[in-house]
Chain A
Amino acid sequence: MTGPFNTDQLDLLMAAAAWLMPDEGSLPSVEDAGLRETYIAQALLARPDGTPKLAEFLRLAEQDGVEEALEHCRDHRPELWEAVTTILPGAYFLSPQVRDALGYRGQTPQLIPTEGSPDYDEFLSGVLDRGPQYRPTPSQ
């Protein structure tokens, strides 16, 4: 999938992603997760408003280097920091490899049982034994 950014720009975004989410061995690296080929582009399809902000971040990164640009955004450009720290991790969590490694199945439904005894019963007596605790309306 091709997104709005060229290879050089993707290099910078991948470096930013790796700075935010370094490869520490317990989850896929940003490269292995497929951010470059697929998920940055997919994240930007979901959040097209992120594209101009990432483009602005890239201008800073081209000028000053990725790390400096990130630190600058964090300290002085909250709207760019917000975009970078939404789109790049957002892309990372779209990756099935990452979701599998996390054991996260997504927002799957879990139906509420309509039968059986309520799960709070065993605890409730602890509260009820204390009796009323509120301050009643004072009489006039």
Chain B
Amino acid sequence: MDTQTSAQQAAREHHDDDHYDVVIVGAGPSGAVTAKRLVEAGFRVAVVEQGDWPDYSKARANFPDYELTLDRHWPWNPNRDVEGHGFEFDDSASTLTPLMWNGVGGSALVWAAQWQRNLPSDFRVRTLDGVADDWQLTYEDLEPFYVRVERDFGVSGLAGDPMFPAGDGPPMPPVPIREHGRRIAKAHNELGWHWWPGTNAIASRHYEHANLKACTQRAACMRGCPERAKSSPDITHWPQSLAKGVTLILRAQVRRVLMSSQGLAEGVMYTDEHGVDRSVRGDVVVLAANGIGTPRLLLLSADARHPDGLANGSGQVGRRLMMHPLGQVIGVWDDPVGTTHGVHGQQLHSLEFYETDESRGFVRGAKWGLLPSSGPLTQTRSYPWGSENAIWGPGFQDALRGRLGHSAWWAIICEDLPEDHNRVSLHTEKRDRFGDPLASIEYKTSDNSDRMLEFHLDRAVESMQAAGARQAIRGSWIKESAFHHLGTAVMGADPATSVVDGWGRAHEVPNLFIFDGSVWPTSAGMNPTATIAALALRNTEAMIAARSGQVTAS
């Protein structure tokens, strides 16, 4: 019996009169880290998740129709989900579409598993660069938690990257570097530019601790890993947590946080798969529903005492949405560079232009991750070739031959700074199937981000050229590329300007916590899950330590 089947069998049933110590909304990485630590500490925990378990019988990376079936079985845009996995939002007023997966494991089911810690400067943006805000914690505060979540998620990589403070690295060695990675590494050495073997939540070995098998480098398999080598909490966390007694309530869309007359959280109200309204009650509520789902739920939970939404006295709920504009530069080589295989994941990363240098005309920076261009159908897609991918018509066959196995790309994650007008709000007209307003996304990039993107695209072209690429293509803007959603329930010391404190506790509701990426004051230029997970662990342990003094509605 596989781990998922036995986990499902171990699952406890929820009855509406059950009472829990902690109720968590969302079963993605942040909810998974939180639940695991709490149940280990003896807490009674219920987790409410609107989606379901992933179906790995549809993980077809070892079948010829894999690329064709990807968007059917493993869609990353809930609005284009042909099998109806999850919730919708309105992104017509946004230049980016937020991507996600709704279900056990959360968006990590479709992630690239590039695992990046933030840098020390990411926590001190105001002090160092005079913009936005500092975090309520430092890199050093988070470092021990990074080390622990790297063990629990089964991360592979190499310690000793000079772009980071020294310390323990991931538990597994990095994945092999293929020809395209070697060429870039050599070129960067010649240019005097940084690179380092990629860190990925992908097992390079059989890794019992997190139920992971070794990756077999099928390359195109970013979504739906048939080996279970790509880490996601449905594999790494939930089986263990369910075995220890966590109650996981699935196909259950949370629609309101329930509040007592004293203004404390009492649990959540959800609608189950049969359309029946139900509740789950607990002493503490933790939101782990991501940077779109969490602010939506807070806004939906408005009541007489909180007319503008729960925990929203500051007016900051939903604001400061940061989604990391993505840049792509694709190198095409004359000879094969091994890009139909390898992890999908990152071969290498470069942080050469990560730290601020104001002479460039912008502040902050971006991380680059090097990916293979994968199988034949991917050569014709807008991701990564850009929405104006011009491959059709005369020249198709040569272009295809030229790309397949001969091309790799830099994925450039630009830090965007928080701006009030980039936000999640409740749609004034559009409703979901239960009649609740959809999340409405308003987002556009700032001049700082636009200049940053241009600069980085130019440098990445130079990187590809230095590595001998015959062509270095700047992929055009892809709307469907917002993998990360951060900042919409910001942490801070001042209740007038922030939603939660430095431990994720809502200023206005002392038994309501937010443990996902919504709380980030700034977005860093890194893939965020390492920091989301480490922060969830740190804040969960603080919650456990403060247990005896915790105010509750009961």
Q: Which residues of A contact B (CB under 8 A)?
A: 19-22, 24-27, 42-43, 46-47, 49, 85-87, 89-90, 93-94, 98-99, 102-104, 106-114, 118-120, 123, 126-128, 130-138
- Inter-chain contacts of A21 with B (CB < 8 A): 392, 396-397
B 49-73 contacts with A by CB, 8 A: 61-62, 64-69, 71-72
Question: Does B195 lie within 8 Å of A127, measured CB to CB?
Answer: yes
Q: Which of B1-9, B162-170, B238-246 is the contact stretch?
A: B162-170
Inter-chain CA distance A21–B220, complex, in Å, is 22
- Using a CB–CB cutoff of 8 Å, the interface residues on chain B facing chain A are 61-62, 64-69, 71-72, 82, 119-121, 123-124, 127-128, 138-140, 158, 160, 162-165, 173-177, 182, 185-186, 188-189, 192, 194-197, 204-205, 214-221, 340-341, 351, 355, 375-377, 380, 392-398, 400-401, 404-405
Q: Which residues of B contact A43 (CB under 8 A)?
A: 65, 68
Q: From the candidates A20, A47, A132, name the one contacting B392 in the complex (CB within 8 A).
A: A20
- In the complex, the answer to whether B218 meets A109 with C-beta atoms within 8 Å is yes
Closest to B65 in A: A46
Shortest Cβ gap from A97 to chain B (Å): 13
Which residue in chain B gives the minimum CB-CB distance to A89? B380
A133 and B162 CA atoms in complex are apart in Å by 6
Q: Which of A27, A133, A134, A136 makes the CB contact (< 8 A) with B400?
A: A27
* A24/B120 in contact, CB under 8 A: no
Min C-beta distance of A79 to chain B, whole Å: 8
Partner of A27, one of B64, B138, B140, B397: B397
From A86, A99, A103, A113, residue with most partner B Cβ within 10 Å:
A86
* 14 A–B contacts, CB within 8 A, in A order: A20-B393, A27-B400, A86-B68, A102-B404, A106-B62, A106-B64, A106-B66, A107-B62, A109-B62, A109-B217, A126-B185, A127-B189, A130-B192, A133-B163
- Residue of B140, B174, B195, B218 near A108 (CB, 8 A) is B218
Q: Are B185 and A111 in contact (CB under 8 A)?
A: no
Q: Out of B68, B128, B217, which one reaches A112, CB within 8 Å?
A: B217
Question: Among B221, B340, B355, which residue has its beta carbon within 8 angstroms of that of A135?
Answer: B355
Given A86-B68, A106-B64, A113-B176, the answer on whether A138 and B128 have CB atoms closer than 8 Å is yes
Given contacts A109-B218, A134-B163, contact A120 B127 (CB under 8 A): no
Indicate if the CB atoms of A126 and B165 lie closer than 8 Å. Answer: no
- Distance between A49 CB and nearest chain B CB, rounded to angstroms: 4
- Known A20-B393, A20-B396; further 20 A-B contacts with Cβ < 8 A: A21-B396, A42-B65, A46-B65, A46-B68, A46-B69, A46-B72, A86-B68, A90-B65, A93-B376, A104-B405, A110-B217, A110-B218, A111-B216, A119-B182, A127-B188, A127-B195, A134-B162, A135-B120, A137-B124, A137-B139
Known contacts A112-B214, A134-B120, A138-B124; is-contact A123 B186 (Cβ 8 Å):
yes
Q: Is the pair B68, A90 in contact by a Cβ cutoff of 8 Å?
A: yes
- Given A112-B176, A119-B176, A123-B182, A132-B162 contact (CB < 8 Å): yes
Known: A107-B62, A112-B175, A133-B163. A90 touches B67 (CB 8 A): yes
Most buried by B among A22, A113, A133: A133
List of B residues within 8 angstroms of A106 by Cβ: 62, 64, 66, 375
Q: Which of B123, B164, B185, B221 has the most CB of A within 10 A?
A: B185
Q: Report A75 CB to chain B, min CB distance, Å.
A: 12
Q: Is A107 a contact of B220 with CB atoms below 8 Å?
A: yes
Query: Which of B127, B165, B189, B197 contacts A138 (CB under 8 A)?
Result: B127
Interface centre among B82, B218, B376, B394 (most CB of A within 10 A): B376
Given contacts A21-B396, A112-B214, A123-B186, contact A134 B121 (CB under 8 A): yes
For the complex, give the distance between the alpha carbons of A2 and B70 in Å: 24
Residues of chain A within 8 A (CB-CB) of B192 are 130
**A85-B392, A90-B377, A133-B163 given as contacts; is B176 within 8 A of A49 (CB)?**
no
The distance from the CB of B250 to the nearest CB of chain A, in whole angstroms, is 24
Q: A46-B65, A135-B355 are in contact. Are A128 and B160 (CB under 8 A)?
A: yes
**Closest CB in chain A relative to B85 CB, distance in Å:** 13
| Contact yes or no, B189 A134, CB < 8 A | no
Q: Is the CB of A127 within 8 A of B162?
A: yes
Contacts of A136 in B (CB 8 A): 120, 165
Q: A112-B176, A123-B185, A130-B194 are in contact. Are A137 and B120 (CB under 8 A)?
A: yes
CB neighbours (8 Å) of A26 from chain B are 397-398, 401
Can you name the residue of chain B whose Cβ is closest to the Cβ of A29? B397
